[in-house]
Amino acid sequence: MKLKTSGLLRPYASEISYLLRLFDVSVIAFSMLFLAWKVGYVVAEAYMLAVAAAIILYSVVAELRGLYGSWRMRSAFDEAREVVLVWATALVGLIVLAFMLKISADFSRRLIGAWSVTVPLVLLGSRLLIRGQAQYARSRGVNTRVLAFVGAGNTARKMADRIAAAPWMGLRVAGVYDDREIGRLSLNRLSLIGNTGDMLRDAREGKLDYVYITLPMYAETRIVQLVDALADTTTSVYVVPDSFVFDLMHASWGNLAGMPVVSIYESPFYGIDGTWKRLEDLVIGTAILMLISPLMLFIALGIKLTSAGPVIFKQRRYGLNGEVVEVWKFRSMTVCEDGESVVQASKGDRRVTPFGAFLRRTSLDELPQFINVLQGRMSIVGPRPHAVAHNEEYRRLIHGYMLRHKVKPGITGWAQVNGWRGETDTLEKMKGRVDCDLEYVRNWSLGLDIKIILMTVFKGFVGKNVY
């Protein structure tokens, strides 16, 4: 196996990073000058101060978010999301500053609006162009990096498969080093390069860019020895938790009183991410409520005219951290069950009113939950809340079921847009729904929320199992 790398751009990595920083601030400044010239505005001192403030805010947030780190481990979508997030944060900071100083009226809304849209478009376009050129170079064997594993096992195979599925990273898996006899190894598509002694020699000779130690957790002493030995090389070294941790939900590193810890079961919405999630709920939830208010009034009238009983059905369900919350729906049945035993609606269910059946098929019965979103009980996107009685039943039958309550329940979710709507009359159907919910919690991002909302608009309102 050829180990020698072809890192044409490696000696200039720091220069490229500085050039990218310079390019970004130039885009922010010159786009304002260009747009002002285009619309015939004279760039006064106030605009130059605004540009300077925007550059400072953008640069600080970009450094905090690690925007100028290596692109190799980051997908184009992830980088685009970070660019937009950093610029949006800088722009919000600029707006707040203008209002605090009472100078917002001094600026042209037309010019500022065009500037706020132009900057991210140019930044994104330039990065996509650079990525395209880099990917073309890597396809020709230029600017690639060589990666090897220490320890043949499930973790190494999983990582190799993921790297193979992401060619944009420009990583070439050389193989695996292991001290065991080849007959005891489960290599699959990996090739055995040699033992750990060979690995240390290759690392010292500069033949390896990355070494991922994928030994099992109980081999702590051996891992420490390898890490110490690799300190005598320039190779980038990573210790990868084995499959026990690798498969756990949302594992991430943190620290407690200065001691490193691995977070296994944790909500993704602490800190700034929680603020963004709540802001998303408030902005989008308010806008949707304003649009659907007339429709909700007509639905309320239809319920009153077609059946006896309240318009809103309130049911206790588990919310964030397993706390019981009251979730609202338009009443679609002749009963309002919320006891120790709740029977799911099934095909031909006589409890469902004719008008209620229409509401359920089209998901219009869920509209009052946008009020729950503004109340803070729910989110627009998240795992669908189940009746308390159903929770108590399934938490005993499905491993990890309660982990879906590490986030607020949602009006729509990853499970719903992937076909897991309606009646869950078998344990397999509920497992499918829960698997999607946990996948959402592990991989949450604002981009994923927007994707789910758009998928809901186009295909999430109806379902063949909704009765």
The C-alpha atoms of residue 205 and residue 210 are separated, in whole angstroms, by 13
Confidence (pLDDT) at 243: 58
Look at 16-20, 232-236, 449-453 and tell me which has the smallest mean pLDDT.
16-20
Output the pLDDT for position 300: 92
Neighbours of 216 (CB within 10 A): 16
Q: Which residue has the tokens 């009238």?
A: 301
Tokens at 275, concatenated: 């603020």
Phi, psi torsion values for 96, nearest 5 degrees? -60, -45
Q: Are 253 and 261 in contact (CB under 8 A)?
A: yes
Amino acid at 425: D
pLDDT digit string, tens, across residues 287-304: 999 999 999 999 999 998
467 pLDDT exceeds 50?
Answer: no
SS3 content of the chain, % helix, strand, coil (to 5): 55, 15, 35
Please answer whether residues 233 and 203 qualify as being in contact, where contact means their C-beta atoms are separated by less than 8 angstroms.
yes
Neighbours of 286 (CB within 10 A): 13
Complete DSSP assignment for 326-370: EEEEE--BS----SS--PPP-TT-TTB-HHHHHHHHTTGGGTTHH
pLDDT digits (tens, 9 = 90+) for 127-142: 888 777 766 665 555 5
DSSP 33-100: HHHHHHHT----HHHHHHHHHHHHHHHHHHHHTTTTS-STTS-HHHHHHHHHHHHHHHHHHHHHHHHH
CA–CA dist 5, 8 (Å, integer): 9
Whether 8 shows a pLDDT value over 70: the answer reads no
Cα–Cα dist 29/50, whole Å: 10
Q: What is the pLDDT of residue 11?
A: 40
Most confident listed range (259-263, 268-272, 455-459)? 455-459
pLDDT of residue 342: 52
Question: Residue 106's pLDDT is what?
Answer: 74
The pLDDT > 70 percentage for the chain reads: 80
Q: What pLDDT shows up at residue 265? A: 67
Identify the H or E element spanning 306: helix 272-306
- What ranges do the domains of the chain cover? 10-139, 145-247, 272-460
Q: 3-class SS at 254?
A: strand
Q: By C-alpha distance, which of 285, 249, 247, 248 is closest to 405?
A: 249
Mean pLDDT of 7-32: 71
Contact 173, 147 (CB under 8 A): yes
| C-alpha span between 178 and 185 (Å, rounded) | 9
Share of the chain above pLDDT 90, in %: 13
Residue 167's CB is within 10 A of a number of other CB atoms, namely 12
pLDDT at residue 78 is higher than 90: no
Higher pLDDT among residues 387 and 328, named by residue: 328
| Cβ atoms of residues 145 and 7 within 8 Å | yes
Q: What is the pLDDT of residue 117?
A: 92
Q: Which of 400, 345, 406 is nearest to 379 (CA)?
A: 406
Cα 463 to Cα 456: distance, rounded to the nearest angstrom: 11
Contact (CB, 8 A) for 344 and 335: no
Q: Per-residue pLDDT averaged across 6-19, rounded?
A: 53
Distance of alpha carbon 112 from alpha carbon 452, whole angstroms: 30
Q: Sort 355 into a burial class: Cβ within 10 Å, 0-12 / 13-18 / 19+.
A: middle
- Read off the amino acid at residue 240: V
What is the domain class of 145-247 according to CATH? alpha beta
pLDDT of 7: 47
The pTM for the full model equals 0.53
Could you tell me how many residues make up the chain?
467
